[in-house]
Structure 1
């Protein structure tokens, strides 16, 4: 760093320390100052937290604040569930589209889901520190594969290039507008000609009697991601003609799609999903309305919804008076917000005296509900506690924008709201997917709570639903 960079960076870290946890900020500062270039590109926050022994939620919050002040840039990357490759990189979630993404390497199409296919990563801002990945076209071939093509959920080994040597028959860097040819021997294997820049692939099913006659194949790289049919070829010599019709270099490689490749792509690690970020209170507080486009409808395969409402709030105002009741209700909201954030959830909205919150997993919602119920004993007038009605349900939904606010839509939301309506006392009501989640079961068992199974008819829901009352 030069003097200007150093002073600007120090000023930004000073701002960051005012809003984020000390240990996380210290670790991020060490990363920016001392980390290798590769470590500052598309940072996997969950992996960063593990390696630095940080609480995940604190690490996520610290990186979000670091992005807000300009130390890092967020990227919303659409990943292939098969190979873990980045099918699309976006500076904003608004540009993630809802139609199919096709992976040429896997030969499959997928519709993006926020909890399975969209990762959020952080790259150091070039004004803070310039790294090699800021100019992807200058990266060496295999560093491009490692840092640009693969997402943060792939756990690539340090000996990545050694494994590549075992897999790759031949490869070449082909400048824009140029042609080249490779002469190689095809083994009796399934072979792929793949370019990570244009995401183009040609599959070769090499089998049968070996031949001494030279076979010929031409592969053209352009911006059209059309899926090629699998060609059958015989083991033996091949002249592979390559043509680059794009305005950037391409990096085609001829690979054997065998056990070594499958083992390489099979090593995965957790990554920060878009869904988890949307259910993070720090993210919602910082970005508020600048999340989705008004016309977007992005799918989430699993999200847990928790609804609360105060029992007898009208009677409370009559009993203790407007001023005291108002203070009690405000105190209740403050406690709920703190508990929801502490359990990795986020408040979507408040409606009167009710709260709608989301959690990444059912066990987090159960833990929050139990803490909420206990916390109400601290808000009382005379000898009477506030009673909180709580309902929880988990399932698929759509992330949408409603009235300039990021919200959720679907039957899962409706059911969660209706389940909350079943509660008439301190009991918490939850559906089967919530109670039967392994984490939830463990929490309930540790708390010596035995859910009571029952069937219930919910308004607007055709069939009866199995629900559990947690006493």
Structure 2
């Protein structure tokens, strides 16, 4: 049914900067959940639509809505948007665009626009559903995000009350009481265990569904090893459970998640990137944590698929038609990879003080022998032009992986982990790369004579002191 396009444009003046707001506002999975949007299911029928497009199904008010979603487009931390093409329900096409403009006072002008066309007579309700109901929900969500960004507590953002298990308080109290009864428990600060428990009680589902100890430590300004060991002890005490995530080396999204190291696959395939890869404990196997179900129940549903927060290393993503040019401004100095999804080839764009302000246009798709790397000054614009015959999805991504992941190689080398989880081992006969590992051999010289000279009890104490030094 052909119909005119309904349009809404809303503006918010917020206190936080675009950089502070981006992790919250661009996390449209969290935003949609907090705004009352129903859960989304990815429809996998074996057909790949190409260039990041996906089929999605949602159910709302008893009506099934099927749509094809174009890939999200974004420029961190300035804008993001998406278009959805519906084949059922009242809406024909829905497009959104959010823009974050920094104000001279350091705050942000957030402009949010929605365009929608109707498929049938039920679409006459679009002005009420979008213009009134969603407008109020969006207002509440954005103002909440602003307050949390200013306060530096983004993990508390939630449109619902955390669902604690009936046994939560009992479990937490038992863990506190049993802290010294597990290997390494006596070295964990009880206050840190309390802080982890408080995080499980108060943080929203998105924040606790995939806990990363080093990221928590950085946010809390605590030593990383202390938080990791506290999380391991909390797992042994029944507050947390851990999982082994095998990440795609390109999109860095978990493609396999297992509860035990013995279950980790050696080979994985990423449909989105179209690549096969192997598990490497030092590079793409990460240990993450989640609340134990006897402490906290976490909503497993996904509300928005393919949003910018799912791939935070990607600073620009956009569709380019043949002959079209995009302008990319990387947000900070560093090395970036410019590539096209599902197509071979990539170049490196380096942002450094000695770079140029006037940067030569990057031609895509990348042809290795015809395209050179570029160096740009901070704040410079990098033009990217599609010189091919087909539409392409361009990605500009940080080359460096964040160092806040607990890698598999790191954790299995940790004595505390081996003491707590001696049964965590690779499948017999299985080979998984570990990168570079350092092995230290030590010897307590003349230990037999030591026992004879100073007595068994004192000598045994010296041996234990030796092991304590090694563990540290």
TM category (shorter chain) comes to 0.3 to 0.5
Question: When you count helix as a share of all residues, which structure comes out higher?
Answer: 1
Task: Kindly indicate whether structure 1 or structure 2 has the higher relative contact order, using CA contacts under 8 Å at least 6 residues apart.
Answer: 2
TM-score (norm 1): 0.46
Q: Normalising by structure 2, what TM-score? A: 0.46
